[in-house]
Amino acid sequence: MKKINYFTILPSAFIMLMGCSDDNNPKTPVATGPPVETNSPNTSYTPAFTGQTRANGAQTTTAYKSDILTTALSAPWGITSLPDGRLLVTEKGGSLRIVTLAGVISSPIQGLFPVNSEGQGGLLGICLDPDFTTNRMIYWVFSEAVAGGNVTAVAKGMLSSNESEIQSPTVIYRANPANSSTLHYGGRIVFDKTGNLLVSTGERSVLETRPLAQSVASGLGKIIRITKQGQPAAGNPTFSQSGALPELYSMGHRNPQGLALHPVTGDVWQSEHGPRGGDEINRVQAGNNYGWPTITYGIEYSGDPIGAAIQKQDGMEQPIYYWDPVVSPSGMTFYKGNRIPEWQNNLFIGSLSATHIIRLIIDNNRVVGEERLLASEGQRFRDITQGTDGALYAITDQGRLYRIDKE
């Protein structure tokens, strides 16, 4: 099944001023439209700086289209490109598949570890070894049932030459402690510019484990940085509190479902689910504390305040951007191509509850514009990546795979 949507927006319908910027992105457009969010926020909290939420609205002036390559995936969760342009896709229930650009889906690749797919668990993020063309190694995150409950686990294995199985699969890391919760696993995985793995872990949601996001002795609510063998990576930050785990890179996260490296600076950016309000985009720096649950721009689902209901505290980082109401940001990628020049170095994020793809224009580490793409599709966009052909590829909880490119 294929569906094509054409978006042709005349420049006269929207004004984009070309402003001064840093050397990394000298032609960053400055959005001048009204914010795309028009609903009332859940809170009356005051942003820490102008543009931290409800940035000016933007519209793409280049004509582009979206093609649905398939609707037959089963709750896809992670997507990445193989060197030949085909796509490697994880499905929440535990299957790993290859999808061609014609939308042909392979049989499940055998050899993966069992997953606990209850709740928000399952087969989650995936990435290829930087040397995949020679070693064929794949790394993935999954929710694993262990003694004491469930954990966010990281595994690796070699894709067989006939692409039918993962050979010599090995679990290389587990985020402890285990808990019976089936929520907030985090689950994204990427290689950083030094060749080490960055993995996001959630704080597992329940009140029992929520405080562990602030504990350096726990792997919950963290970005961890490990070697390909699962050992703490050289150069990791040193946390001052006693008992700090050597694999920790940052702390104070709730449910981080997106990780991406800026194509120019190599900086680590992250998306994070807030509670009722307070979804975040963070620029993650080594050793920093991103505040959850001590500071937040959200409230409990019940409407009650969280903790002391504060949004700022010394020693805790502010999000670069937040949403209230939530959009439920998930997988994300920076646009590295020039097929649509105005998108260069923009951040594209799958939105679950708000059912669109978010485009953020970033200048000097601040969000200066926001656009909603494919909102009319009504899909929960779970992950997005840029293919070897320069197009964007996005998967949805409902089983769709989209290709988004210049018309």
pLDDT-derived band at 290 (thresholds 50, 70, 90) equals very high
Q: Residue 29: what pLDDT?
A: 65
48/53 Cα distance (integer angstroms): 9
Closest CA to 174 of 134, 209, 212, 141: 141
Residues 29, 361 contacting (CB under 8 angstroms): yes
30 band by pLDDT with thresholds 50, 70 and 90: confident
Lowest mean pLDDT among 12-21, 51-60, 280-289, 353-362: 12-21
pLDDT at 16: 40
Average pLDDT score over residue span 381-403: 98
Q: Which pLDDT belongs to residue 6?
A: 38
Please give the Cα distance from 99 to 69 (Å, whole number).
9
pLDDT over threshold 90, residue 14 = no
How high is the pLDDT of residue 4?
41
Q: How far apart are alpha carbons 291 and 316 in whole angstroms?
A: 5
pLDDT of residue 27: 60
Q: Taking 60 as the threshold, does the pLDDT of residue 24 lie above it? A: no
pLDDT, mean over the chain: 94
Return the pLDDT at 247. 98
What whole-number distance in Å separates Cα of residue 3 and Cα of residue 389? 20
How far, rounded to the nearest angstrom, does the alpha carbon of residue 221 sit from its chain's CA centroid? 14
What pLDDT digit, counting tens, does each position of 150-181 carry? 999 999 999 999 999 999 999 999 999 999 99
Q: What is residue 28's predicted lDDT score, i.e. its pLDDT?
A: 67
- What's the pLDDT score for residue 23? 37
291 exposure class (CB count in 10 Å sphere: 0-12, 13-18, 19+): buried
* Residue scoring higher pLDDT (225 or 2): 225
pLDDT higher than threshold 70 for residue 8: no
pTM for this entry: 0.94
CA distance 131 to 327: 35
Q: How far, in Å, CA of 285 to CA of 240, rounded? A: 16
How far apart, in whole angstroms, are the C-alpha atoms of residue 221 and residue 181? Answer: 14
Half-sphere exposure of 171 (CA within 13 A, CB side): 14
Q: What is the pLDDT of residues 333-377, one digit of tens each?
A: 999 988 999 999 999 999 999 999 999 999 999 999 999 999 999
Element (H, E) at 136: none
Active site residues: 184
| Structural domains of the chain sorted by starting position, each given as residue range(s) with its CATH number in brackets | 4-406 (2.120.10.30)
Given a cut of 80, whether residue 305 has pLDDT beyond it is yes
Render pLDDT for 125-154 as a digit per residue (tens, 0 to 9): 999 999 999 999 999 999 999 999 999 999
- pLDDT by residue (tens digit) across 209-259? 999 999 999 999 999 999 999 999 999 999 989 999 999 999 999 999 999
In contact, 182 and 119? CB cutoff 8 Å: yes
pLDDT at residue 95 greater than cutoff 60: yes
